[in-house]
Amino acid sequence: MKRISAALMMLALFIPLGARAVEPGEELSNPALEARARSISAELRCLVCQNESIDTSEADLARDLRRIVRERLKAGDSDTQVVDFMVARYGEFVLLKPRVNWHTAILWAAPLTILFIGLFAIGFSVLRRSGGTPLPEVAQLSEGERLKLNAIQRSQPDEA
């Protein structure tokens, strides 16, 4: 019996408790509206946690933001209107995926620009190395040098 209870306790430790931060009292009675609210909440950033959606965050501010989303949906707003309301109130930072516009152009263009600059630098380096001055010709050893080299090699112990 102790083994079963210990196994259940171990299993309980591995169940993610924060995966569902929406409390039962927050959920809407209309399943379609609740699904829309969850979808919108998954797109909005928790302003406290900053790397988590308000749908999964347990912060008090995230709870308030989820409540606002549900109130706006009950009032008849479309998904776009709810998101626009949140952006107007909290700024573009509230979006987990920033919109593509002139304010965020550098966010979207920077990775590609850095990639192209890196590829250009690599290409330039390769071309410079292959098209540069040729290596000087290596002169052959004279007979005296060859004899000295053989003598040196014979005088050193084998490292096998």
3-state helix, strand, coil in the chain (%, to 5): 60, 0, 35
Its CATH architecture, for the domain 2-94, is: Orthogonal Bundle (1.10)
- Could you read off the pLDDT of 127-137 as tens digits, one per residue? 777 766 666 77
Say how many CA atoms lie within 13 Å of 87 toward its Cβ: 14
The answer to whether residue 90 scores a pLDDT higher than 80 is: yes
Q: Please give the residue that has the higher pLDDT: either 97 or 4.
A: 97
Does pLDDT of 59 surpass 70?
A: yes
Domain residue extents for the chain: 2-94, 100-132
Q: What pLDDT score does 18 carry?
A: 42
The predicted structure's pLDDT at residue 1: 59
- Report pLDDT for 5: 59
Structure confidence by residue, pLDDT tens digits, 116-125: 999 999 988 8
Side chain identity at 33, as an amino acid letter?
Answer: L
- Per the DSSP assignment, residues forming a β-bridge with 44 are 95
- pLDDT category at 10 given cuts 50, 70, 90 is low
Give yes or no for residue 160 having a pLDDT over 70.
no
Nearest of 35, 54, 36 to residue 45 by alpha carbon? 54
- Are the C-beta atoms of 95 and 43 separated by less than 8 Å? yes
Pairwise CA distance, residues 74 & 90, whole Å: 21
The pLDDT of 29-35, averaged and rounded, is: 84
Over range 66-77, report the average pLDDT.
91
Q: Which secondary-structure segment (H or E) carries 154?
A: helix 143-155
Are 54 and 13 in contact by the 8 Å Cβ rule? The answer is no
Alpha-helical (H) ranges within 44-104 are 60-74, 79-90
The pLDDT of residue 8 is 56
Beta bridge partners of 45: 53
